[in-house]
């Protein structure tokens, strides 16, 4: 009997020791997991198709299976870039393309984008709870079809650069494409003629008539009263009048648009109390303001001259629409300019004024 009790005690002790060992092992494993979770990441996980696009197609010109599965080849060859790279291009474009940063950007799946815009308000009124409801007038609708064209860039790299594993071909290419796109599209959104390119807001007809009397699609301008200059006395009044030319519903979110040379003139203006109209941003990252509104510097805006439309003020999110195909396409070309490898990138982009009441222009003219 004593032997059996001792045996049972030894079994129980062994089981307890085994359990303690398992608990200790689990505790150690949990500790390692916590340390790994707290340790800062040295890199980020890259999707296989994105890595294949950069390492196989961009560096070597090999269309890997992951690239083919990710993107259909276009008719001219090449592939649509992965979503992450395209988003990086778009983010950079928004930072350095001035009008894109404030306009309404719409992603479309085809080149036939249409937008209906109502002109005039919806009629309404007050009635009693049992009175008849008279029929109201139906507003007029106008169709906006932004002219579109293929925007292209053609950056080049040497094969030695591409063979260098430390060279970040993905970041280099997205930055190069974005810079070239931004320079060209920035000018088109201001002055584009609408033929195989966006129609810039300065390419529309203008008139001095009010919103209620002006034809749809015609922008309103305000004359400074002096050709090629501000008025000699109280020149700031033209800017104040321009602000109040815009209806209050559009003023929230409105911005001034002008080039650097014009801005240099405006920054020197003072009010009647000798205070500058220009106010620098109070904190880092906050925009400077003119009469309380941000200023967008667009170098495509014309310099002050006779009859020039050198300053715009408006709510561009309501007034100007940019329509673009979602994918940027890239064709790798190692043959045209040996020993360099070109990356021919294209994207279909359009633009047009959507609401001609939301943008006002200052005209440097006598009338």
Integer CA distances (angstroms), 335 to 75, 143, 156, 273, 338, in order: 19, 45, 12, 66, 6
Q: Comparing 122-131, 211-220, 224-233, 354-363, which segment has the lowest mean pLDDT? A: 122-131
Q: What one-character DSSP code corresponds to residue 193?
A: B
Predicted confidence band of residue 199 (pLDDT cuts 50, 70, 90)? very high
Integer CA distances (angstroms), 318 to 249, 250, 309, 359, in order: 10, 8, 20, 9
What's the mean pLDDT in 147-161? 92
What's the mean pLDDT in 209-238? 94
Q: How many CB atoms lie within 10 A of CB 222?
A: 20
What the block records as the tokens of 334 is: 């190692």
Global pTM reads: 0.77
Residue 179 burial by Cβ neighbours in a 10 Å radius (0-12, 13-18, 19+): middle
Residue with more model confidence, 118 or 126: 126
Tens of pLDDT, residue by residue over 269-281, are: 988 788 889 888 7
What's the mean pLDDT in 50-67? 72
Helix (H, G, I), strand (E, B) or coil at 302: coil
Residue 309 has pLDDT above 70, yes or no: yes
Where do the DSSP E strands lie in the chain? 79-80, 104-108, 115-119, 140-144, 148-153, 156-158, 206-207, 219-223, 255-258, 278-279, 289-290, 293-297, 309-314, 320-325, 329-333, 340-353, 359-363
* Cα–Cα distance measured from residue 311 to residue 306, given in angstroms and rounded to the nearest whole number: 13
What's the mean pLDDT in 190-198? 96
What the block records as the tokens of 290 is: 């003119």
Q: Mention every residue, 6+ apart, whose C-beta is less than 8 A from residue 305.
A: 228, 364
Rg (CA), the chain: 31
Residue 38 has pLDDT above 70, yes or no: no
Any idea of the CA torsion for 164, 169, 172, 176, to the nearest 10 degrees? 120
Residue with tokens 């494409």: 177
Contact at 8 Å (CB) between 261 and 269? no
Residue 71 has pLDDT above 80, yes or no: no
């Amino acid at each position: 009997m004593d032997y059996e009790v001792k045996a049972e005690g030894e079994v129980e002790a062994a089981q307890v020791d085994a359990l303690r060992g398992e608990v200790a092992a689990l505790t150690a494993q949990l500790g390692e997991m916590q340390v790994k979770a707290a340790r800062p990441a040295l890199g980020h996980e890259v999707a296989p198709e994105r890595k294949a696009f950069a390492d196989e197609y961009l560096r070597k010109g090999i269309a890997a299976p992951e690239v083919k599965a990710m993107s259909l080849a276009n008719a001219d060859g090449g592939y649509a870039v992965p979503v992450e790279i395209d988003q990086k291009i778009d983010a950079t474009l928004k930072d350095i393309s001035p009008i894109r940063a404030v306009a309404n950007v719409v992603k479309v799946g085809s080149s036939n984008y249409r937008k209906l815009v109502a002109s005039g308000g919806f009629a309404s009124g007050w009635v009693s709870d049992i009175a008849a409801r008279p029929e109201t007038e139906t507003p007029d609708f106008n169709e906006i079809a932004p002219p579109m064209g293929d925007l292209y860039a053609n950056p080049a790299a040497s094969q030695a650069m591409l063979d260098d594993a430390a060279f970040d071909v993905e970041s280099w290419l997205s930055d190069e494409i974005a810079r070239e796109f931004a320079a060209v599209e920035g000018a088109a959104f201001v002055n584009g003629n609408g033929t195989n390119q966006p129609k810039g807001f300065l390419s529309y007809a203008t008139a001095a008539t009010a919103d209620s009397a002006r034809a749809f699609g015609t922008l309103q301008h305000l004359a400074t009263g002096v050709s090629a200059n501000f008025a000699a006395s109280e020149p700031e009044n033209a800017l104040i009048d321009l602000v109040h030319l815009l209806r209050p519903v559009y003023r929230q979110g409105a911005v001034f648009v002008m080039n650097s040379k014009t801005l240099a003139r405006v920054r020197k203006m003072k009010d009647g109390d000798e205070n500058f109209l220009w106010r620098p941003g109070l904190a880092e990252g906050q925009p400077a303001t003119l009469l309380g509104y941000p200023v967008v510097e667009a170098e495509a805006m014309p310099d002050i001259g006779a009859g020039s439309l050198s300053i715009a003020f408006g709510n561009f999110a309501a007034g100007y629409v940019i329509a673009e195909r979602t994918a940027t396409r890239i064709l790798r070309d190692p043959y045209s300019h040996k020993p360099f490898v070109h990356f021919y990138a294209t994207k279909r982009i359009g633009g047009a004024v959507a609401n001609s009441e939301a943008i006002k222009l200052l005209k440097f003219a006598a009338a």
